[in-house]
Amino acid sequence: MMANAMNPSDQPSSSSPLPGGFRYSGTACGLKASGRKDLSLVVADHAVVAAGVYTQNQIVAAPVINCRSKTPSRSIRAVVTNSGNANACTGEQGQHDANKMCELVADVLDCDPSQVLVMSTGVIGVPLAMEEISKGIHAANLELNQTTEDFQHAADAICTTDQSRKTASRQFDVDGKTVHITGMAKGAGMIAPNMATMLALITTDASLSEEEAEACLKTACKESFNRISVDGHTSTNDTVILLASGDSKVAIGKSSLEIFQRALNSLFTELAKLIVADGEGATHVMAIEIIGAVNDDQAFEIAKTVAASPLVKTAITGGDPNWGRIVSAAGYAQAEITPDAATLKICGETIYQNGTPLPFDAATLSQKMKANVEVPIQLRVGLGNGHSNYWSSDLTTDYVRFNSEYTT
**Rounded CA gap, 219 and 126, in Å?**
34
What confidence tens digit (pLDDT) does each residue in 160-203 have? Answer: 878 889 999 999 999 999 999 999 999 765 444 444 458 999 99
Residue 23 Cα distances to 144, 152, 201, 320, angstroms? 6, 11, 13, 47
Say yes or no to pLDDT of 3 above 80. Answer: no
Identify the architecture of domain 22-277 in CATH.
4-Layer Sandwich (3.60)
Task: Name the region of 193 (left: φ>0; alpha: ψ -120 to 50; beta: rest).
Answer: beta
What confidence tens digit (pLDDT) does each residue in 346-355 have? Answer: 999 999 999 9
343 is catalytic: no
pLDDT for the residue numbered 280: 64
Is residue 30 very low, low, confident or very high in pLDDT (cuts 50, 70, 90)?
very high
Helix (H) or strand (E) holding 116: strand 116-123
Q: What is the SS3 string spanning 193-247?
A: CCCCCCEEEEEECCECCHHHHHHHHHHHHHCCHHHEECCCCCCCCCEEEEEECCC
pLDDT for the residue numbered 23: 98
pLDDT for the residue numbered 197: 57
Say yes or no to pLDDT of 318 above 50. Answer: yes
- pLDDT over 70 percentage in the chain: 89
Boundaries of every domain in the chain? 22-277, 285-404
Dihedral over alpha carbons 370, 376, 379, 384 (to 10 degrees): 180
Contact between 54 and 68 under an 8 Å Cβ cutoff? The reply is yes
Radius of gyration of the chain (CA): 22
Say yes or no to pLDDT of 16 above 90. Answer: no
Interval 191-217 mean pLDDT: 83
**Rounded CA gap, 360 and 357, in Å?**
9
Say yes or no to pLDDT of 45 above 50. Answer: yes
CB atoms within 10 A of CB 371: 10
Interval 261-274 mean pLDDT: 94
pLDDT for the residue numbered 254: 82
pLDDT for the residue numbered 234: 55
**Residue type for 255, please?**
S
Which of 27, 167, 197, 269 is the catalytic position? Answer: 197
Interval 367-376 mean pLDDT: 95
Helix (H) or strand (E) holding 79: strand 73-85
Residue range 285-404 forms a domain whose CATH class is alpha beta
- Mean pLDDT of all residues in the chain? 89
Burial (CB count within 10 angstroms: exposed 0-12, middle 13-18, buried 19+), residue 197: buried
**Rounded CA gap, 83 and 202, in Å?**
18
